[in-house]
Amino acid sequence: MSEATVPLYTTVCGTCNDRIRNPLDGFCHTCDTFTGTSHFVDVHNRPITFERWLELREDLHYRILAESVPNAADGWGIRTCWTGQIDTWGSDLPFGTGVFRSGKVVGELTMWRDLAAALHGHTRIVSWMRLHPGIPPTRDTLAEVLP
């Protein structure tokens, strides 16, 4: 392939100078070097390849971190998940918590920077829902209950 036909999003590895086939991945498969530009992380915020991210997304036990039903009778539930994506929309928040009713997301997802914050936030949202049945938290009310 000549230089003129190199795809627009190709990156060159700083270690071996080979072309990285998936720059979102940030990983050179030729010399096994991480280039520092990965858009994917594991549950411990370690950079991973796009291929590994796809594998982990298939594993529901890995992806779903916490799931709670504060009051089963009212149909509300809270789920906190690992998304593994960073810098996709200008953020580095690879975890999210959603409030659901009858299987549909209600309101906005609350995003978290790391596993500890996600699990702590999940607990606080569950506490909010127990104190305020049927009223999902908003960004303003979450600011009150989350340190």
Domain boundaries, the chain: 3-58, 60-134
pLDDT digits (tens, 9 = 90+) for 28-63: 767 766 665 668 889 998 888 888 899 999 999 999
pLDDT digits (tens, 9 = 90+) for 78-117: 999 999 988 655 567 899 999 888 878 887 788 899 999 9
pTM (predicted TM-score): 0.73
DSSP letter at 109? Answer: P
For residue 111, what are the β-bridge partners?
96
Burial letters 5-41, b for 16+ CB under 10 A, else e: eeeeeebebeeeeeebebbbbbbbeeeebbbeebbbb
